[in-house]
Structure 1
Amino acid sequence: MSGVNLGPKGGANGGPKGNVAEFTTVDRAPDSAWFIEFMDMANAIPEYGRIRRTLAAQLGQLGGKSIVDVGCGTGDDARELAKMVGSSGYVVGTDLSSAMVDEARRRGTEPWLTFQTADANQLPYPDNIFHGARAKLVLMHCADITAAAAELVRVVRPGGRLAVFDYDFDTATIDHPDVEATREIVRVTSDGHPNNWSGRQLVRRFSELGMFEISINPHTVVMPYKFFRRTVEGRLAMAMADGKLSLSPSELDSWWQTLAEADRIGRFFCSITGFAMGATVSQW
């Protein structure tokens, strides 16, 4: 995943620096470090490791295989896959952002691991070239989700495997005493994503593309306060500026203060659920 626009208080005055709901424009942001740090924070959460293992398992036996990791970001997941395929296979990590690809290359490659800037809607590869394709937290950001899903299928050989993970943003849960404000905040942050129901739609979308042997595994991510705040603060600031959030600045600040105090005494709780889909490309 990659990209973000700055929120209305970006950076200098202490406001939010990014909006993860717009994870497609990282190369137009003044500083890509915000997004790189965000991805590193996410990958440090234990459930993200389990998600990576689920996706790898859904790709099947990986030794000697060719895999494309679409939306590779900083390339950490692609490096894990490269270890699994070994020197007799190869992994290509692609990302829309050249800044992310540069960071992925900086973190290290192998002769059988390469990184390339590419648009998920138009992958620069022939039909049926890879044994498998992986996309974690990618389709939910695509302006044309149908085209991006079809591209994943197109570049995989008949009988090959896909592994896709996306969130369903309506599954967000936040323990807060102000129920009505929290419900509005969940709705606003969910609706701010291009494809906020992508997770629940994976089975249908890929069934319509002729995939079979489809499996689905839910993963609920419990988010630390710091990561949760970084995830939604920019979106809420933008929603307030656009008039889509009815809370006043002082009301929103009070809402955050309650959560900060809950975190201070060890009582903060927030989670979100996503779905990992594995599927086989049709032989015909």
Structure 2
Amino acid sequence: MEPAQKERTPFADIDGLTAQMSEIVLDALTEMGRHSEIRRVRRVAFDKLRPAAGQCLLDAGSGAGDVARLLATEIGPRGEVIALDHSASVTAAAVRRHDGSNVRYVTGDICRMDLPGDCVDGVWCERVLQHVDDADRAIAELIRVTRPGGRICLVDTDWASLAFDGMPAGLGEVVMAHARGHLTPRRFDMGRTLRRRLVAAGLSGVSATPVTCFFADPESAAVVLPMVNPRVPEETWGTPPGVRDEWLACVEAAGASGTFLAVLTIWVVAGTVTTG
């Protein structure tokens, strides 16, 4: 994750967390990567990035390196994946999980990368830009390090699309009103803005694919949606006293009755860096 955050959600500043909270966040990142809906989003993104044998790719905001290692299987032994993350503790976790593939793990700031221009053939950036102050500056950096003709693939959440059914609507509105900046980044709409940003940055052939994630039970939803996860500490919610417990009780009841539903759109946007 990257610095200069609009809001300090737990995912935005992992190195600033307590050891216990840092472990919770790292476990959450790993669990999310294994979720069938996130894997479905990533399959769409892989198709848009078009990794090829021998390429050098950048995973910007690489977390524990799961995607970087998958990309390494696509580019083969003659290629390289640079896995860059701002968090030293997350990078250390990625190194511990290294599988011997051609991935190089580095720490750095996506808005000011210590990489030369035109040094990679493609960029993967997943659910990072929602956390930075200046997404356009970050995108400009991603373009700077990408060779002409290279692909940039951005994956980000449209938190404003999040919707529930099976729980009291009024209570859900209260929870979501307080979630912004606490349980989710304040920049709710980043996903839907990505196409506009890449077009404005001069990329060609920009495509935008909305992937609607569907969660039919609270247990599945809790992996991706912190506001239905009872393991998320109460002090991070930002809700008035009693609201969290009332909401979670309604979530549990909806799950028990089979009426729980949650949907969230994640956007996959990609384009090609032009020669001029």
> What interval of TM-score do these two structures reach, taking the shorter chain for normalisation?
0.7 to 0.9
Measure the CA separation in 1 of the matches of 2:40 and 2:142.
Answer: 22
Assess if the C-alpha contact under 8 Å between 1:133 and 1:156 holds in 2. yes
Q: Match for residue 93 of structure 1?
A: 83
Q: What is the aligned residue count?
A: 264
CA separation of 1:35 and 1:227: change in aligned 2, threshold 3 A: farther
| Residue aligned with 2:242, SS | helix
Tell me: CA distance 1:251–1:142, structure 2 relative to 1, closer, same or farther (3 Å): closer
1:280 corresponding residue in structure 2: 272
- Give the superposition deviation at 1:228: 4.2
Query: Per-residue deviation at 1:190?
Result: 4.0
What stretches of structure 2 of length at least 5 have no aligned partner?
none
Unaligned stretches of 5+ residues in structure 1: 4-18
2:250 to 249, 258, 262: 258
CA contact (8 A) 2:175 2:243 kept: no
TM-score by length of 1: 0.85
The residue that corresponds to 2:205 in the other structure is 213
Q: Distance in 1 between matches of 2:12 and 2:243?
A: 30
Residues 57-83 of structure 1 deviation map (CA, whole Å, 9 limit, x = unaligned): 112241111100011101011100000
- Taking structure 1 as reference, are residues 251 and 194 closer, same or farther at Cα in structure 2, changes over 3 Å only? closer
Between 47-56 and 87-96, the greater mean CA deviation after superposition: 47-56
- Which of 37, 49, 66 does residue 76 from structure 1 map onto? 66
Counterpart CA distance in 2 for 1:236 and 1:169 is 21
Q: Which residue of 1 aligns with 2:190?
A: 198
Q: Is 1:150 the equivalent of 2:140?
A: yes
Kept after mapping to 2: 8 A contact 1:2/1:26: no
Name the aligned partner's letter for residue 116 of structure 1: V
Cα distance in 1 between the residues matched to 2:257 and 2:108: 45
Q: Deviation of residue 187 (structure 1)?
A: 3.6
> Aligned residues: percent identity?
25
Q: Are the structure 2 counterparts of residues 22 and 195 from structure 1 closer, same or farther at C-alpha, using a change threshold of 3 Å?
A: farther
Match of 2:226 among 214, 226, 231: 231
The answer to whether the Cα contact below 8 Å between 1:41 and 1:227 also exists between their aligned partners in 2 is no
Q: Among 218, 222, 226, which residue is 2:214 paired with?
A: 222
Match of 2:176 in 1: 186
Q: How far did 1:235 drift? A: 9.0
- Which SS does the other structure have where 1:258 is aligned? helix
Secondary structure of the structure 1 residue equivalent to 2:208: strand
Work out whether residues 170 and 186 of structure 1, in 8 Å CA contact, stay in contact via their aligned partners in 2.
no
Q: CA deviation at 1:36?
A: 1.2
Matches of 1:177 and 1:59, distance apart in 2: 38
Aligned to 1:23: 11
Instruction: Return the offset for 1:249.
Output: 2.2
State the SS of the aligned residue for 2:245: helix
2-side partners of 1:208 and 1:102: how far apart? 36
- 2:149 aligns to what? 159
Contact 2:2–2:110 under 8 Å retained in 1: no
| Alpha-carbon distance change, 72 to 96 in structure 1, aligned in 2, over 3 angstroms | same
What is the aligned counterpart of 2:53 among 34, 50, 63? 63
Cα pair distance change 1:251/1:111, threshold 3 Å: closer
- Counterpart secondary structure, 1:169: strand
Match of 1:106 among 77, 96, 99: 96
1: CA distance between counterparts of 2:98 and 2:236? 36
Give deviations 1:232-258, integer Å, cap 9, x for gaps: 365985453xxxx5xx42343222101
RMSD over aligned Cα, in angstroms? 2.4
Q: Which amino acid aligns with 2:141?
A: E
Report the AA paired with residue 24 of structure 2: W
Residue deviations 1:252-282, cap 9 Å, x none? 3222101112223433211211100110001
Structure 1 runs (4+) greater than 4 angstroms displaced: 227-230, 233-239
